[in-house]
Amino acid sequence: MCLASLSLGLLNGQQSDSGSWYKTPEELIRDIYVAVSAKNSESVDWQKVRSMFIDEAVVVLRTSRDKSTQFTADGFIQDFKDFYENPEVKANGFGEKILRMKTMVYKDIAFIATVYSAQIIGSQRPPTRGVDLWLLGKKDGLWKITSVINEVIPAGEELPDEPAWKF
């Protein structure tokens, strides 16, 4: 990848709505949920989403009731693009939003836990809820995602009634 392309990607992908660099890891995580929520795949700035991850990032997502799948950042994006090809998603769009967030930051590393909801827009099905656990690091002064793993919260269940999950 040439330096000019890399610089353009960083400028386009590491800016918050205010036009400044992500000042906090929370801004980056809030923005990724917004970035992947759209009317259709063409509406998503996949280059921006890609720029939020380090090249070596590891993404582990729940892909069925009893299976998780490991992706690279590019594999994660391709999986999302494939999801947007689902006829119902293609016709109506998809949205994710953070319901709660817990953050721990120490110098150039951060851990963020989110409880989120995800739904095909206009679907009669209730939103799916889940937990994402994000690890981030500063690379060249910019916050980047190094890894994420998630778990779906089954309908009718709640997170454990323990202090660590009270956020």
For CA atoms 136, 28, 88, 86, the dihedral sign is negative
**Closest C-alpha among 95, 129, 137, 94 to residue 112:** 137
Domain assignment present for residue 118? The answer is yes
Token pair, residue 85, equals 């090809």
Q: Could you tell me the pTM of the whole model? A: 0.85
Domain assignment present for residue 6? The answer is no
Token pair, residue 161, equals 């009634």
Q: So what's the pLDDT on residue 28?
A: 97
Number of domains in the chain: 1
User: Are 125 and 132 a contacting pair, CB within 8 Å?
Assistant: no
CATH assignment of the domain containing 126: 3.10.450.50
Q: So what's the pLDDT on residue 21?
A: 65
State whether residue 68 is helix, strand or coil: strand
- Report the chain's mean pLDDT, rounded to a whole number: 87
Number of other residues whose CB lies within 10 A of the CB of residue 13 = 22
State whether residue 5 is helix, strand or coil: helix
Q: So what's the pLDDT on residue 16?
A: 41
Which residue segment(s) compose the domain that 60 sits in? 14-165
Which contacts of 21-28 are long-range, i.e. CB under 8 A and separated by 24 or more positions? 21/141, 21/142, 22/142, 22/143, 24/105, 24/143, 25/103, 25/105, 25/110, 25/112, 25/134, 25/136, 25/143, 26/101, 26/103, 26/112, 27/143, 28/52, 28/136, 28/143, 28/144, 28/145
Share of the chain above pLDDT 70, in %: 87
Domain assignment present for residue 7? The answer is no
Q: So what's the pLDDT on residue 167?
A: 85
Domain assignment present for residue 73? The answer is yes
76-111: per-residue pLDDT in tens?
A: 999 999 999 999 999 999 999 999 999 999 999 999
Domain assignment present for residue 1? The answer is no
User: Are 132 and 111 a contacting pair, CB within 8 Å?
Assistant: no
